[in-house]
Amino acid sequence: MKPIGPLMWEHRLIEHMVDLLRSEIDRITSKKTANVILIEQAVDFFRTYADRTHHGKEEEILFRDLAQKKMSPEHGKIMDELVREHIQGREKVRKLVEAKDLYVNGYADALPHIARELKELVDFYPKHIEKEDKHFFFPCLDYFTEAEQDRMLGEFRVFDQNMIHEKYRTVVETFLGKQVMRPSKAG
């Protein structure tokens, strides 16, 4: 398996969440109510799965390794765009949280804000995914040897294995107001 395989599989799950949100926009428009539980779960999904897990592998492993290669100007430009888009995605999720909080707190005009922020996400992710899938991932494989690709795939696996521990350690630390013991990198 190539290291872009897991990244592309993750894209398919992100696309399913985008479809759910597209339906939620329609529901908000027609029923004049928002499914707060779905929105909160979507926020967690985008923050943990799409951003921290998926974009984490891209930024902390793939892009890190690509930065060590002599990339074409075109691929370097696309990688820079992708990093900026990841930041934009985080901002869009933050704005969705703000809109959802207004709604939960009884702000009468919050529904259009929620619908707008959902639409921003629904419009954003398919274009971002297409850029990675169709214009970046496959050409970037040419920069790596088979051994480098295998090492990267192994690093992706370790990254994923650690993700659940990172997520819930952060939950506990938030409530405790302090860091808790972390496993050593060697172990």
Per-residue pLDDT reduced to its tens digit, 125-135: 999 999 999 99
Give me the domains of the chain, ranges plus CATH numbers.
4-176 (1.20.120.520)
Per-residue pLDDT reduced to its tens digit, 145-176: 999 999 999 999 999 999 888 888 888 888 89
pLDDT of residue 131: 98
pLDDT of residue 18: 98
Confidence band for 184, pLDDT divided at 50, 70 and 90:
low
Closest CA relative to residue 136, chosen from 63, 65, 68, 32: 63
Closest CA relative to residue 11, chosen from 141, 139, 184, 137: 137
**177 or 53: which carries more pLDDT confidence?**
53
**84 or 185: which carries more pLDDT confidence?**
84
